[in-house]
Amino acid sequence: MMIENLQEQNLFSDNQPPGVWIEVILPLAIPKTYTYSVPPELNNKIQIGCRAEVVFGKNKKYAGIIKLICKTKPAYETKDIVSIIDDEPVVYPKQLELWKWISEYYMCTEGEVMAAALPTHLKLSSEVILIYNEEYGDDFSDLDNEEYLIAEALLLKKELKLAEVQLVADIIHVYPLIKRLIDKKVCFVWEAFTDKYKEKKENFVTLNPEYSSDEKLSDLVNNFKAPKQMELLLSFLHLLKTEGEVSQASLLKKSGATVAQLKGLADKNILFVEKRSVDRIRSLPKKMEVNFELNSFQEKALVEIGIALSKKDVCLLHGITSSGKTQLYVKQIEKFINEGKQVLYLLPEITLTAQIIRRLQLNFGGNIAIYHSKFNNNERVELWNKIKTGELKIILGARSALFLPFKNLGLIIIDEEHDPSFKQQEPAPRYNARDAAVYYASLFKAKVLMGSATPSVESYYNALKDKYSLVALTERYGGVKLPEIKIIDTKTVAASKKGKVMISPQLKAAIENALQNDRQVILFQNRRGYAPFLICRTCGFIPQCENCAVTLTLHKYSNKLHCHYCGNTYPKLITCPACGSVNWMEKNFGTEKIEEELTEDFPRNRIARMDVDAVKGKHAHDTLIKLFEQHRIDILAGTQMVVKGLDFEKVSLVGILDADGLLSFADFRVNERAFQLMEQVSGRAGRKTEQGLVLIQASKTDHPVLSFVQLHDYQKFYENEISMRKQFFYPPYSRLIRLILKHKIKEIVQDAAEILGSLVKKDFPHLAGPAAPVVNRVRSLYLMEILLKLPKDAAHLQSQKKVIGNYINLLKAEKRFRSVVIIADVDPV
């Protein structure tokens, strides 16, 4: 947006000098946007969505996003901007609208949304540190004088603060210079609080595209002379088929060939060997091959989705586990791509595995890209730009992919829409990507397709109330039967055994049986570590974290006590600090203990554990999935990581070890979460020719949720749940805002919560608290909570949030409460 004809503007303003001002969003938690004046020489460079270099506070510099251009002078003195960094906007107005909506709806600042939305390389401030890119080398012939100065300083010092860059360059307009250096890949921006990213490179082997047709390939294979190379080639083709891509290491290992033999094939131009980053998004050809057949149930659902989306903007696809929802998504994506639109495919981070990526790349080749928090900053900026120009059509990503600068969005798919990880907990913006996606789509007049085997109560309610349309897919793909579910009463087992039952005799027998039939087993326990708490048998002392009001979990791998809230570790206690005895009892069990018992009980089988401790490395999760897929693991024991939408051919048995634990959380969503987890993990059992078996260990065997799971009856579950929600005025009948107060002194936070509670009570009669949450101290801060229930159809939702905000400000204006942290969490999960 150019500023045209300033003289003309001047005619209409009353005695104001001509000028241009811009409102800038700074990546900070300041409540409002900030206004700057634009010096005349920069007037023709300002555009909404571009970054401007500005000074904020005494001498801190930031790259802020231009939100608004105005020609009337504000009532206060403004500072000039320093420079304009970009020639092209980095975001479009629609993204800025999304930021604004998120900041208003989720009660945070636009700056906080900006900080979450932009990749690191686009966020510049005085604190930012530039790291020299070793790969650039020391040939600076492409650089101009200013660039050269900085590059040389970086080469010597390896890193520079932006403030130092300023000194070296001795110019005012530093940020545009830095942008050029980043664009030219001379340096990176380093984030202080994230792990340093180290690129891992490996040799990959590909086939000369000349042989990509079956005919050419069989010609080649049939007329091959050298037997060793022939073997190598066949190994390559086999790996390519099973793995999708072939690394040199895996090829040499499989074929037993030498590097020299591989080089022979490379010299003949049959195979290519190239070094590339193992994470690098492969540059696949931009083809589209959606040529699989749907079964009749999917076909019917596909037609229904088409009709549904023509009538309503949001469609909920309720497809039971393994019903083939992904294939329907693929067909939908194809349709929108053919119309020239972009598609965003959102899924929970943990399901963003090589398995789903391979599946989609098979259909869309290089048209699909993945936006992943594990990718390095350069790659993220590269993707950002390709989406902005519309070059990239399909993006697969977790919740933060919502912020990408789509140009022409046609469809958003939200797979596993019930998953709580779509909601960001910490820090602000505490947004739910599923709900924000519905708003974002509306800006483009785009469609939303949500899918789940166990829809969230809110989404299902919306579908039944005709806000969304609903399509059901009730047959599993390939005629696979839903698994049989049996409940094992641990009370009867416990009587004969001491302590909590971990693996009952019935479950043990079923595992033996499955293994004998060459099948695989998944065991699910939602607690990691070895023993969730220890207790002194003599005096009852329980070790707790010094910073948090939680019991410590014993981890065997580290032989330490861990706090799962703040991450602190403590040495394992030998003697009780209270009474000095050495008589400890381990209470309850986590995944480590299960793994240990399995290793004892099944010494000849291959056992693996899947939880955040076991999959710490960047590729550990994918590797574990791959090993299990290839049946190189017999029993997989894990936390909810094993639950998520993975398809394994040979799993015949699933064990849920502690259903009581799932059903005993103090949260109104406890039944919903428990049903979802149990139904989803059950869905991993069973294959084409045989029905799977699920064994659930529980002591409260008459819990209604267990019977809904046993019958795979989502409808019954929903009816039961929705009537309770109505009775207790919980969502979807109300909207929740949770106010969380934190302070290191207990009395202060209690007093603050009392006062805030009495203030908001005037306007919000449906209120719970103030009360201390179950865990009332985390990271040395005491917590208090107030839960507000707002009527759902309140036309004044926005103004009500302002009222709450005002009360918070009122409280914080008081000196005693200034340092109390107050968080408003809208639609908490």
Q: Which is nearer to Zn ion, 449 or 550 (CB)?
A: 550
3-class SS at 203? strand
The secondary structure element, H or E, covering residue 33 is none
Shortest separation between residue 819's beta carbon and Zn ion, angstroms: 21
Residue 548 or 741: the one with the smaller Cβ distance to Zn ion is: 548
Q: Which residues bind Zn ion (CB under 5 A)?
A: 536, 538-539, 541, 545, 547-548, 563, 565-566, 568, 576, 578-579
Question: Would you say 31 or 580 has its CB closer to Zn ion?
Answer: 580
Overall size of the chain counted in residues: 829
Q: What is the DSSP string of 746-797?
A: HHHHHHHHHHHHHHHHTT--SEEEEE--SS-EETTEEEEEEEEEEETT-TTH
Q: Are 454 and 679 in contact (CB under 8 A)?
A: yes
CB-wise, 63 or 548, nearer to Zn ion?
Answer: 548
Is 228 strand, coil or helix? helix
759-766 LR contacts (CB < 8 Å, sep 24+) = 759/807, 759/810, 759/811, 760/786, 760/788, 760/804, 760/807, 763/800, 763/803, 764/788, 764/789, 764/790, 764/800, 764/804, 766/729, 766/734, 766/790, 766/791
Q: Which of 661, 654, 687, 682 is nearest to 507 (CA)?
A: 654
Burial of 473 (0-12, 13-18, 19+ CB in 10 A): buried
Bond preceding residue 732 cis, omega within 30 of 0: yes
Tell the smallest beta-carbon distance from residue 555 to Zn ion (Å).
14
CA separation for the pair 162, 176 (Å, rounded): 12
Query: Cβ closer to Zn ion: 123 or 564?
Result: 564
CB of 590 to Zn ion, least distance (A): 17
Q: Are 648 and 520 in contact (CB under 8 A)?
A: yes
What is the pairing mode between strands 34-38 and 60-70? Answer: unpaired
711, 703 in Cβ contact below 8 A? no
To the nearest whole angstrom, how small is the minimum distance from the Cβ of residue 596 to Zn ion? Answer: 25
Q: How far is the CB of 548 from Zn ion (least distance, A)?
A: 3
- 721 class by beta-carbon count within 10 Å (0-12 exposed, 13-18 middle, 19+ buried): buried
- Contact, 150 vs 85, CB < 8 A? no
Amino acid at 757: G
Between residues 568 and 750, which has the closer beta carbon with respect to Zn ion? 568
Question: In terms of CB distance, is 103 or 553 closer to Zn ion?
Answer: 553
- DSSP-assigned letters across all residues of 632-644: --SEEEESGGGTS
Nearer to Zn ion, 503 or 554 (CB): 554
Residue 700 DSSP SS3: coil
CB-nearer residue toward Zn ion: 341 or 562 = 562
CB of 339 to Zn ion, least distance (A): 52
Min dist. Cβ of residue 530 to Zn ion (A): 17
- Packed helices 714-727 and 457-464: angle between N→C axes, nearest 10 degrees: 90
Q: Are 49 and 1 in contact (CB under 8 A)?
A: no
CB of 513 or CB of 776, closer to Zn ion? 776
State in angstroms the smallest separation of the CB of 612 from Zn ion. Answer: 16
**C-beta of 273 vs 821, nearer to Zn ion:** 821
State how far the Cα of 661 lies from the Cα of 658, in Å rounded to an integer: 6
520, 514 contact by CB (below 8 A): yes
8-state DSSP, 91 = S
Closest to Zn ion by CB, 513 vs 569, is 569
Alpha-carbon separation of residue 110 from 63, 274, 741, 807 (angstroms):
14, 44, 22, 20
Shortest Å, Cβ 743 to Zn ion: 17
Give least dist CB 567 to Zn ion, A.
7
> Of 390 and 540, which CB lies nearer to Zn ion in the complex structure?
540
> In whole angstroms, how close is the CB of 149 to Zn ion at the nearest point?
47
CB of 712 vs Zn ion, minimal distance in Å = 39
Spatial CA neighbour of 691 closest among 511, 473, 515, 479: 479
**Whole-number minimum distance, CB 776 to Zn ion, in Å?**
12
Nearer to Zn ion, 576 or 808 (CB): 576
Rounded CA-CA distance 372/26 in Å is 25
Complex with Zn ion: residue 530 or 584, whichever CB lies closer? 584
- Least Cβ distance, residue 571 to Zn ion (angstroms): 15
Whole-number minimum distance, CB 537 to Zn ion, in Å? 8
Distances (CA, A) of 645 to 326, 680, 712: 10, 8, 17
Judging by beta carbons within 10 Å of its beta carbon (0-12, 13-18, 19+), is residue 248 exposed, middle or buried? middle
